[in-house]
Amino acid sequence: MSVSYSLRGAIAGSALGLALGLVSTSALADSQAILEGERFHPEVSTRGMVATSHFLASEVAREVLANGGNAVDAAVTAGFALAVTQPRSGNIGGGGFMLISDENSDEVIAIDYREKAPKAAYETMFQDDNGDAVAELSRYTHNAAGVPGTVAGLALALERYGAMSLAETLAPAIKLAEEGFAVPQRFVDGIDSASERFEPWEASRAKFFKEDGSRYQVGDIYRQPDLAATLKRIAEQGPREFYEGETAELIAAEMERHDGLMTLEDLASYEATVREPVHGSYRGHDVYAMSPPSSGGAHIVQILNILEDDDIGELGFNSARTIHLMAEAMKRAYADRSQYLGDTDFVEVPLAGLTSEEYAAELRSDIAADQATPSADIAPGNPLPYESNETTHFSIADGNGLAVSNTYTINFSYGSGIVVDGAGFLLNNEMDDFSAKPGVPNAYGLIGGEANKIEPEKRMLSSMTPTIVKRDGKNYLITGSPGGSRIITTTLQVLMNVIDHDMNIQAAVSMPRIHHQWLPDEIRIEQGVSPDTLDLLESMGHTVNQQEAMGAAQSILIEDGVFYGGADPRRSTSSAMGL
C-alpha cells in the first residue's frame, strides 16, 4: 500500500513548481518523463478508497474497509478519529452534513446534523444597545455555541446504513485519545496561533498546554483523557448520552457558569434529520450536493447552470476568459445567497428557481464576454418559484457501491476556544453564521438577510458542500472542502477540473483556485496563475487579490471500477489511502 502524503505549506509560486512539488510518494519512484496530465499521481485501488485531512483518521477508516466494514462504517470511524487527532476542526462539539450514495438502491440522501440555536436565543442577542452587531459576542463567548449535532448525525448515518456498532466505530478514537499520538508541525502551529483564545479558560489551557504551561513540540505524545472518557460513555450508553447523560450535564454546567443560554432541554431535544439533496446536471453528469441550511448545493448547481453553455474546456484551465466567466457566475450566486438562503424549517427558499436552467439563462444574459460587472450593479435576482473557515472534509467509497461525502466543523479554527470542563472537547462558535444584523457581514465577509436571522431552534446557514457526482448511475466523484465562504467555489472547481479539464483527481485538488463572493468585489486568487492572466483580468475591470491557499478538497474519483484518491496538499496531514 502506498500512501499519498502532501507537502506542507502554501501553493507553489508557479504551476510547474506546484506540479513537481506535490506528487504522491508512489510518484516519486516513477522515473519516466513527465507527460501532460501525469504531473500529479493519485492513490489507486480497485477495492475502495479513503481520503481525509489526517493520516491517522485515514488509517483507521481504511482498516474498517479492509476488515469488511462499509463506507458509512469507515466514515463514522473517521469522523470520531478526527475529533481526536484534529481538534481545530474535527469535532464532537460542532456539526455538519453528510451525503450518502448507494448505487444498489439508486438512492442519494443527505443527513443534516447542523447545530441549532438554543431555545432562548433571540434576534438581537449579538447587538449592543445602539443596535450594532458586536462580533466578539458571536465568536468568543459561550453564547457563540449552537447545540452540537455531530454525535447525533454520525450515529444516525450508522443506524441507517452502517454494519458496525457505534462502540466499534468509536474504539479507534478512544484508543487515540487514551494512548495519544505524536503531534505534527501543523498541530504545533495551530496551538500557537490560537493560544490567546485558550488563555481565559482553565479547561482550554489544560487541554492544549502541558501541565507546566509550556507548549507541545513536534513529536510530543498528546493524550486527551477527558475526551477519552466522554467517547467511552457514548460508546457504552449510545448517542443519547451526549444529549441527556453526564456529557450533557457537563455542557449545561459549563453554560450555567458563564451565563450561556444552552440548557439540558436544548440538548435533549436535538435531533439530526434526513433531507433530500440538491440535484442538478452538468455535461451529462448528475450532481448531488447538500440542501439548505447549506447554501452550497443550491449555488454549485446554479453556477454550473450558468457556465454550461460555455465551452470551458476549450477556453482552457485558468485562462483569463475562464476565470472571468467563473467569477461573474460566482458573483451572481453569492448575491442571491445573501437574500434567499436559510433554514427551510423556518423560511421559504426558492430552491427550484435558484437551480433552474431558465433562471441561469437569465443571469447568463447579463454577463459580458470581456467586461466585469461591478458588484454594486448586481442585486439578488428573482429566482421564482419558491419551494466557514476551519472545517474538515473527508470522502470514502467502498467496493460495493456505497459512497460518503462528509463535511463538519466547529466554525473557526478551534471554534470558540472554549473547552467544556471535564468533557475534553471544544464548543463551536457557529452562532456567528447567523446574520447578527441583516446586511452586516459575518467573519467570512458574507452578507446575510432576514432569511438567516437568529431564531430559537433554527439551524444557521452554512457553506459546507459535501458533493457526490454520478455518471451513468454510478458513483463517479466524491468531494467537498473546508474553507468558510470559499467552500462552494473550491468544490465547484474540483468538479470543473475533472469534468471540463479532464484532470486526474490529484491534479484536480492540487491546482490553483480562484474565488469571488460578490462582496467584497474582488477575485481572490492563489499563487500559480500567470501574471499575464492577472493583467488581462484587470483590463476587463476585475480587481485581483492574491492571497493564501484556499480549501482542502479530499476527493475520490471512480472510473471503470478503479478508485483514485486525491489528498489536498494544502493540508500537511492530508492523505488518501486505498485498499
Contact assessment for residue 524 and residue 307, using Cβ atoms and an 8 Å cutoff? no
Q: Which residue among 85, 230, 247, 391 is the active-site one?
A: 391
The distance from CA 9 to its chain's CA centroid, rounded to whole angstroms, is 19
Can you name the residues that pair with 395 across neighbouring β-strands? 51, 405
* Closest to 343 measured CA to CA, from 270, 276, 293, 290: 293
**Residue 488: count of CB within 10 angstroms of its CB:** 32
Q: Specify burial of residue 417 (Cβ count, 10 A radius: 0-12, 13-18, 19+).
A: buried
- CA 369 from chain centre, in angstroms, equals 32
Nearest CA among 185, 141, 199, 235 for reference residue 432: 141
HEC assignment per residue over 158-200: HHHHCCCCHHHHHHHHHHHHHHCEECCHHHHHHHHHHHHHHCC
Residue 496 gets the label, from left (phi > 0), alpha (psi -120 to 50) or beta, of: alpha
What strand order describes the sheet that includes 273-275? 4-5, 575-578, 48-52, 391-398, 402-409, 95-102, 107-113, 273-275
Task: Give the span between the Cα atoms of 88 and 79, in whole angstroms.
Answer: 13
d(Cα 294, Cα 139) in Å, to the nearest integer? 20
Give the C-alpha separation, 90 to 122, whole Å.
28
In the chain the first and final C-alpha atoms are separated, in Å, by 7
Please compute, for residue 51, the number of CA atoms within 13 A of its CA located in the half-sphere on the CB side: 38
Gap between the Cα atoms of 6 and 42, Å rounded = 11
The whole-angstrom separation of Cα 328 and Cα 302 is 12
Cα separation, 94 vs 145, whole angstroms: 8
Spatial separation of the C-alpha atoms in residues 342 and 345, rounded to whole Å: 9
Q: Assess whether 479 carries a catalytic annotation.
A: no
Cα–Cα dist 40/511, whole Å: 10
Residues with catalytic roles: 391
